[in-house]
Amino acid sequence: MLAPRKNLRYTYSRMLISGAAIPAATLTAPPVRSLCVFAPPLVRCARAADLVALLAALVAVLSLPASAHASRLNLPSGVIAQVKEGMRLLFNGDPEATIAIAKKVQGELPEHPIGYLLEVNALWWKIYCRSISIKYNLIDAWDRKKLTEDMAYFDLAARAIRLAEAANKTRESAEMHVYAGFAYGLEARLHGLRGENLSVARTGVKGRDHFVRALQLDPEMGDAYTGMGLYNYFADALSTFAKVLRFFMGIPGGSKKEGVAQLEKAMATAELSAPEARFYLARNLRNFDQKYQRAAELLEPLAAQFPQNPLFPLLLGDMNAKLNRREKAAAAFRAAQAIHSRDPACATRIAEITRAALATLR
């Protein structure tokens, strides 16, 4: 027996507002003629069938995951596909393949920042893997001396910034602010690895300004939450002395709580940086808050989704070791050891670190 007209309409309305799924059977089971009771007096009964189809389509759209909705990137569809494939390959441990895609995109769109941003991000992950060490009883990239090859890295980041900021002068967009913010963030990462703390502060604040503006223009720009989340977390994780220095330098503060929430939002909604948001949230919770259980829970999906990247099981093993899960830690270290890195320098570092880490478990 059909529910009364008022109750059925109220139930569907509440389910749509709440985002709950409406069983397909409830959309198709009632005879079409019975839906005539919902139509205004001047609407023909045949239109009720259209109502069913419309409602079913609406529910299908509302049920789609964030990544399936229309892209917020103002790029040709073919380029979007290339960039996303480049990011997938990068997180799966193949930065050289990503660089090849980046150079192709640069050839197709030489005045757009995305190709240069993609290349410098790939270079960052190569640098990160080559710089891995054990320090403070943690496995991470802590420091590295300056190298002549760093100039090419900074040049790529600067070009991405220059193109994004020039585009904003012509027609401002949240997307271009995100590109500029990420490029400044990548500059800050290498400055940090080289121990250039003032440069980290300078570039970090510039990146933050772009992410703030991006979210003013488009509050649903998921990738902007990656940048804002990282800034807010790091700004609050500074030592007391650094916070005092930040105050006198006029550097905006941050909030770990807000940073965590923003990174979690980025994990769910960012088009390009969702895995990066997840990785850095896990890393930060381990390094600064000793929340090893939560960090491991965040990193496990990355290790499963990108099985050819040795960095994920390597850090996951470190987190399990901190939790005294010796067998799980050893399994993760061996998994990292078994992955063949396409970068010889990275492969050498992974082999050295996994041997040292396994030795501590005996």
Q: What is the pLDDT of residue 71?
A: 79
Q: Which domain holds residue 16?
A: 5-63
Does 249 share its domain with 164? yes
Q: What is the mean pLDDT of residues 219-243?
A: 88
Instruction: Among 61-75, 81-95, 140-154, name the one with the lowest average pLDDT.
Output: 61-75
In a domain, 213, yes or no: yes
Q: In a 3-state reduction of DSSP, which class is residue 324?
A: coil
Neighbouring C-alpha atoms within 13 Å toward the C-beta of 234: 21
Tokens of 290: 């000793």
Instruction: Among 83-87, 237-241, 242-246, name the one with the lowest average pLDDT.
Output: 242-246
Instruction: Among 20-34, 84-98, 298-312, 318-332, name the one with the lowest average pLDDT.
Output: 20-34
Does 57 share its domain with 102? no
DSSP type of residue 221: -
The residue from 261, 280, 300 where one domain ends is: 300
Q: What is the pLDDT of residue 172?
A: 98
More confident residue, 205 or 246: 205
More confident residue, 281 or 64: 281
Residue 43 has pLDDT above 70, yes or no: no
Q: Is 354 exposed, middle or buried (0-12, 13-18, 19+ CB in 10 A)?
A: buried
Dmax over CA atoms of the chain, in Å, equals 81
313's CB contacts (< 8 A; 6+ apart) are: 303, 332, 333, 335, 336, 339
Tokens of 75: 């790029």
Does 11 share its domain with 136? no
Report the C-alpha gap between 4 and 38 in whole angstroms.
Answer: 11
In a domain, 331, yes or no: no
Instruction: Among 50-54, 199-203, 252-256, 314-318, name the one with the lowest average pLDDT.
Output: 50-54
Which amino acid type is present at position 63?
Answer: S
Q: Are 228 and 208 in contact (CB under 8 A)?
A: yes
In a domain, 50, yes or no: yes
Instruction: Among 76-85, 130-139, 246-255, 332-341, name the one with the lowest average pLDDT.
Output: 246-255
The residue from 39, 63, 87 where one domain ends is: 63
Q: What is the mean pLDDT of residues 100-126?
A: 98
Does 213 share its domain with 240? yes
Residue positions counted in the chain = 362
Does 150 share its domain with 124? yes
Task: Kindly tell me the sign of the dihedral angle through the C-alpha atoms of 306, 309, 315, 318.
Answer: positive
Give me the numbers of helices (H) and strands (E) for the chain, helices first please: 17, 2
pLDDT tens digit sequence for 45-68: 444 444 444 444 433 333 334 444
DSSP type of residue 2: P
Does 118 share its domain with 14? no
Does 293 share its domain with 196? yes
Residue 308 phi/psi, 5-degree rounding, is -100, 10
- Given pLDDT bands bounded at 50, 70 and 90, which one contains residue 239? low
- Given pLDDT bands bounded at 50, 70 and 90, which one contains residue 12? very low
Angle at 183 between CA 179 and CA 189, to 5 degrees: 145
Q: What is the pLDDT of residue 238?
A: 79
Q: What is the pLDDT of residue 362?
A: 85
Does 41 share its domain with 132? no
More confident residue, 59 or 140: 140
Q: Return mean pLDDT, the chain.
A: 85
Q: In a 3-state reduction of DSSP, which class is residue 138?
A: strand
Does 136 share its domain with 230? yes
Q: Which of 98, 87, 139, 142 lies closest to 343, judged by CA?
A: 98
In a domain, 360, yes or no: no
Residue 298 has pLDDT above 90, yes or no: yes
In a domain, 348, yes or no: no
What CATH number is associated with residue 290? 1.25.40.10
Q: Which of 282, 286, 284 lies closest to 300, judged by CA?
A: 282
Q: What is the pLDDT of residue 299?
A: 98
Q: What is the pLDDT of residue 242?
A: 62
In a domain, 306, yes or no: no
CA dihedral 112, 306, 147, 181 (to 10 degrees): 40
Q: In the chain, how many domains are there?
A: 2
Does 20 share its domain with 101? no
Cβ neighbour number for residue 262 with a 10 Å cutoff: 25
Does 168 share its domain with 198? yes
Cβ neighbour number for residue 102 with a 10 Å cutoff: 26
DSSP type of residue 110: T
In a domain, 29, yes or no: yes
Neighbouring C-alpha atoms within 13 Å toward the C-beta of 147: 11
- Given pLDDT bands bounded at 50, 70 and 90, which one contains residue 148? very high
Residue 291 has pLDDT above 80, yes or no: yes
Report the C-alpha gap between 88 and 78 in whole angstroms.
Answer: 15
- DSSP secondary structure of 56-109: HHHHHHHTS-GGGSPPS--S-HHHHHHHHHHHHHHHTT-HHHHHHHHHHHHHH-
- Given pLDDT bands bounded at 50, 70 and 90, which one contains residue 252? confident
% of the chain exceeding 90 in pLDDT: 73
Q: What is the pLDDT of residue 70?
A: 64
pLDDT tens digit sequence for 155-185: 999 999 999 999 999 999 999 999 999 999 9
Does 161 share its domain with 15? no
% of the chain exceeding 70 in pLDDT: 77
Q: What is the pLDDT of residue 284?
A: 97
In a domain, 357, yes or no: no
Residue 229 has pLDDT above 90, yes or no: yes
